[in-house]
Amino acid sequence: MANYGTIFVLFLIAAMIALILWTLASVLGPKAPNPRKERPFECGNPPLGPVVRRVSVKFYIVALLFIVFDIETVFLYPWAVIFSELGWLGFWTMVTFVAILGLGLVYVWKKGALDWA
Amino acid sequence: MAVAETPPAAPVTPAAQATPIAPVTQVAASTGPLVPSGPPRDGPIPPIRAARTPRTDCKPTKAFVPEPHLDLSTYEADADLMTLSLGPQHPSTHGVFRVVLYLDGEQIVKAVPYPGYLHRGVEKLCEKLMASNITPIIDKNDYVAPMTNEQAVNMAFESLMGVEVPVRARYLRTVLAETQRVASHLLWLGTFGMDLGGALGGGTSLFMWCFRERELILDLFENLTGCRFHYNTHTVGGNRHDVPAGWPEMLHRTLGAIDERLDQYLGMLEHPIFSARTKGVGVIDADLALELGLTGPLLRASGVDHDLRRDAPYHAYAEVDLKVFVEDAGDCWARSKVRIEEMRESIRISRILVDNLPPGPICSTKPLKMVGQHKLPPGQVYVGIETPRGELGTWLIGGGANKGSSPYRLKIRSPSLHACAVIPYVLPGCSLSDAIAILGSLDPVMGEVDR
Amino acid sequence: MNEALELLANPWIHGFVFGAVIVTALMSVTAYITWFERKFAARLHSRMGPTMVGPKGLLQPIADGLKMIQKEDIVPRDADRLLFNAAPAITLFFALAVAAVIPFSPGLLASNLDIGVLYALAVSGLMGFPVWVGAWASNNKYALFGGMRAVAQAISYEIPMVLSALVPVVLAGSLSIGQIVEYQIEHGWFAFWPPGPGIFAFVLFMLTALAEGNRIPFDIPEAESELVAGPTTEYTGIKFGLFASAEYIHSLLASALGAALFLGGWDGPFGIPVFWMLLKTCMLFVGVTWIRWTLLRFRSDQLMALCWVYLVPGALGLLLITGLYVHVRG
C-alpha cells in the first residue's frame, strides 16, 4: 500500500498547485463586473434562444459502445499479465472473446451506429 | 427554385443574370437626370445614446421568421433544435458577417445569412464625390483585390465619358489585374487553410506561407505605386504610375518564385485530410449557381464555362490566349482546384504581357490638377469585369451633383454578395465543421458584400 | 546521508519529495515547452517567434503566466459557478496525477505501482470529463459543442489507446512500467523488437495520444475556426491557463509513456539513464508538435469513423498477433 501513499501525496501537491494559481489569480486580478461581460459569448450577439443542455442521442450511443469495449479491455488486462502461463488454451479463449466482440462491432457498424454525420 | 425564393439577405441586382453581359455597354441613354426616390428626411434627429451606459436589456430584436426553404414548425428533429449565431465576432466568417444556424445535434437544418455589418454607404457617398475622389474610396470595397476595384469604376467612367485608354495602360492594367488575382487567391488559400486547420495548427502554416508569397506581390505593387494596399493608381483614361526601371524583372522574379511554390499547393489538394474535408462538401450545382448569379471561380467550379476575360475581353485580354479552368464537381475541392490553377494561368499571362508592354503614353487625360476636372455626361453605363471573385459590375448614371462631376448614381454589383446568397441553399444538411469549410471556399469579402 | 536515505524510504516523505520535484519540474517544463513550440512553429512559418521578453524570448513563458494570473476572472451570468470554477483545477489535477508512475530513471519515480500502465491510462482517460463539466457549466453553445466533442473523442480513442498499450504488457508479462522498461533493456525495445506488432502498436499509441491530447489533426473539440475556443470559450485568465497547461502536460506525459512502453525508457548506450528518458520524451514531443503544425484537422464524424472502423479493429488484431507471437516463441 505504500506506493498508493506516495500517489496520494502527489494528488495533494497537484491539487495544491491548482489551488495556489487560482487563489493568486483571484487576489491579483482586477474585478470590474459588467452585465455585458457576463453575457455568454455568442459572437457578439445576445444569445438566440436557450442553450439546449440535452445531448444528442448519438453521444449516448458512443458512450454505450465505450462502456462495452472498455469493460472488454479491463478483462484483457489480467489476461495479458499471466498470458504466457495460460498456454494455448488461454490464447484461444481470448481469440473467441475478441471475435465475439468483433462481431458485435461489425453489427453496430452495419446498423449505422457509427455514422456520425 | 424560382427567383422569388431568393432569401432577403441577397436581393438579386439588375445585373445578376447568368448570361454574360458585354462589358462596356451603353445600356440606355437617359434624358436628363432622374428624380430621386423618397422625400428628404426632416424632423428632429433622435438623441444619441450615451456611449458609456452599457445596455442590459439586450434581447433579440427580430423574430426569426423561417425561410421558405424549410418550415421549422414541421421539421422533425432528432434532438432539440438549437439556434446558434455564427458571427459577427467569429474567427471564420471572413470579416463581420453573421449566419444564424438552426442545429439538430451538430447538423445544420437551416441557415440564414445576415450581412450588413460593414455597410459604409459607399454608393451613396459616391454621389457626392467627384470622379477622381471615387477611386480611393472604391479601393476599400474589395479590400483583398483593390486593383480590380479601381479598374472597374474607372472603366465605367471612361466608358461613360468616351475616353480612350492608351495601349500601354491597357497592358499594364492587365498585368496588375492578373497579379492582383494571384495575391487575392493566395490570401484565400491561406484563410481557407485556417478554416480547415485552425489558428493553432497546420492551417496557420499554410496561412503564413501564403502571406509570405503575397507580401512579394505587395512589394511589387509598392514599387510601382508607392502604396502597399490601397493603390489609387488607376485614373480616368489610364494609369498614374508608369513602370519604373527594373520592374518587369522584379515581376518575373516574384512570379517565378510563386510559380514554383504553386506545385506544393497543387500537391496539397491530394492530401488525404484536405480531400476528406473538401470533396463532396458544399456542392453547388450549375443550375443553382446560375440561378443565384454566381460568377467567377464559384461558377467555373460548378461546371459552367464562363469567364468575362475570355467571353467579353476588356483590357488586353484579347491579345492573349487565356485558358479557363472548369471543374464539374461544384464542391469545395473543385473551387480550390479552380483557384489554384487560375493562379498559375494568371502568372503566365502577367509574365507574357509585361514582356510585351508597348511603348507610349500611360494616360490619355491630362495629369490631375483639380478634382472637378472630369465631367460626367448624362446617361448610364454598365461595366462588368472579372475580378478574382467573379463579375464585378459597376452601373453608373452620370450628371449628378457638383455641376455634373459626380455620378447621379453608382451601383456596384459585387460577386461576393451573390456568393453569400448560396449559404441558405448549401449549408443545410452539413455539419458545423463543413459549414466553415463551405464559407471559406466561397471566399466572400465583406467589404464588398456590404459596401 | 544515510539518515536522509532512510527518511526517503518512508512512503509519505518519499511521495512528498518526489511528488514535489516531479510536479514542479513538470510545470516549469510545460512552461518552456510553450516557448519551444512557439519557436518551432515560427521556424515552420518563416517567422521569428517570441523575441522581446528576455534573450531569445526565453522569459516569455513567465510573462505569459504572470499575464494570465493578472487577468480578470469572468464567470458568465448563467453558469454553474461551482462546476465552472472547479473544472480547470480538476483537469490539471488529473494531468499531473499521471506523472506519479512514469519512471524517469530506475530510482526517479514517485511510485512504483505494479499496475502502473493501468493507472496511467485510467487517470489520463479521466481528463476528458472535467473538460466536459466545464463546458456544460459555461452555459455557452460553442462550449457545449466543444465539450460534447471532447468527451466523445476522449472515450472513443481511449479504447485503441488501452489496447495498443496492451501489446508491451503482453510481451513483457507485467503491468509495472518499470518492469516493462527493464524487460526492454534485456530483450530490445518493443518498437523494433519483435518486428511487426511493436512498431504498429507504437504508432497507434502515439496517434491515440494525439487524439487524447486534442492535438491536430484530432483537435476537433477546440476547433478554433469552428467553435471559437471550444470548451474553454468562456474561460479567462488563469482558468484558461490551467486548461491549456493540462493539455500540454497531457501531451508531454503521453510522450513519456510512449517512450517508456515502446522505446526502452531510460535505456541508452552510455551516460546517465534519466538523460535518455528525457531525450526520447522530447523527441516524441517534437514529433507531436511537428504533426500539429503540419496537418489540417479532421471532421468530427471522420474522426469517429477513423477510431471505430480502423483503429479499434486494428488494435484488436494487433493484440492477437502479439499473443500468437509470444506463444510461438514459447
The identity of residue C324, as a single letter, is L
pLDDT greater than 70 at residue B56: no
Minimum distance, in Å, between the CA of residue C64 and any CA atom of chain A = 13
The C-alpha cell that represents B411 in the structure block: 451601383
Q: Is the pLDDT of residue C236 over 70?
A: yes
Average pLDDT over chain A, rounded to whole? 79
pLDDT of res. A1: 55
Check CB contact of C147 with chain B, cutoff 8 Å.
Answer: no
Q: What type of residue sits at position A29?
A: G
Partners for B (CB, 8 Å, 3+ pairs)? A, C
Question: Which residue's entry shows cell 443565384?
Answer: B292
pLDDT at A117: 53
| Region B257-268 average pLDDT | 87
Specify which residues B385 forms β-bridges with.
B392
A-chain residues within 8 Å CB-CB of B100?
48
Of C97, C173, C313, which has the smallest distance from its Cβ to A102's Cβ?
C313
Q: C-alpha cell of B85?
A: 449565431
Q: Are C157 and C231 in contact (CB under 8 A)?
A: no
A-chain residue closest to B58, CA distance: A46
Name the closest residue on chain A to residue B77, using Cα atoms.
Answer: A56
CA A24, chain centre distance (Å): 30
Q: Per the CB < 8 Å rule, is B197 touching C295? A: yes
> Exposed, middle or buried, B341 (CB in 10 Å: 0-12/13-18/19+)?
buried
**pLDDT surpasses 50 at C200:** yes
What number is the average pLDDT over the span B266-276?
86
A2-111 placed in CATH 1.10.20: no
Which of A22 and B78 is assigned the larger pLDDT?
A22
Q: Do C74 and A37 touch (CB under 8 A)?
A: yes
Count the neighbouring beta carbons within 10 Å of the beta carbon of residue B50: 6
Residue range B334-356: mean pLDDT, rounded: 90
Which segments of B110-246 does DSSP mark as H helices, in order?
122-126, 131-138, 146-161, 167-197, 202-225
Mean pLDDT over residues A66-81, rounded?
82
Q: How many CA atoms lie within 13 A of C129 on its CB side?
A: 11
Q: Which residue has the cell 485503441?
A: C160
Binary contact (B88, A46; C-beta < 8 A): no
Write the DSSP symbol of residue C104.
S
Tell me the shortest Cα–Cα distance from B81 to chain A, in angstroms.
Answer: 8
As a whole number of angstroms, the distance between CA C229 and CA B436 comes to: 14
Tens of pLDDT along B134-184?
888 888 888 888 999 998 888 888 888 888 888 889 899 999 999 999 999
Q: Which of A54, C146, A60, C221 is nearest to B81 (CA)?
A: A54
Interface touch B202/C294, C-beta < 8 Å: yes
Of B209, B326, B340, B200, the C-alpha closest to B269 is B340
pTM comes to 0.82
What is the reported pLDDT for C153?
85
**Judged by CB atoms within 8 Å, which residues 52-71 of A form the interface with B?**
52, 54-58
For residue B346, what pLDDT is reported? 92
Judge whether A32 is closer than 8 Å to chain B, CB to CB.
no
Q: B435: distance to nearest CA of chain C, Å?
A: 9
Residues 6+ apart with CB under 8 A from C256: C102, C104, C277, C281, C284
**From C20, which residue of chain A is nearest by alpha-carbon distance?**
A13
End-to-end CA distance of chain A: 48
Quote the CA–CA distance of C274 and A6 in Å, as a whole number.
21
Could you give the number of structural domains in chain C?
1
- B91 and C224 in contact by Cβ < 8 A? yes
The alpha-carbon gap from A64 to the nearest alpha carbon of chain B, in Å, equals: 18
Q: Which of B113, B110, B114 is nearest to B70 (CA)?
A: B110
- B288: which 3 cell numbers? 443553382
- Give the per-residue pLDDT at B184: 92
Q: What is the sign of the dihedral through the CA atoms of B88, B94, B99 and B104?
A: negative
Look at residue B234 and give its three-state secondary structure: strand
- C77/A39 touch (CB, cutoff 8 Å), yes or no: yes
- Give the number of other Cβ atoms within 10 Å of residue C226's Cβ: 30
Determine the distance in angstroms separating the CA of C296 from the nearest CA of chain B, rounded to an integer.
4
Confidence of residue B17 (pLDDT cuts 50, 70, 90): very low
pLDDT at A67: 85
pLDDT at B36 over 50: no
Domain of residue C138, residue span: 2-329
In the block, cell 449628378 appears at B400
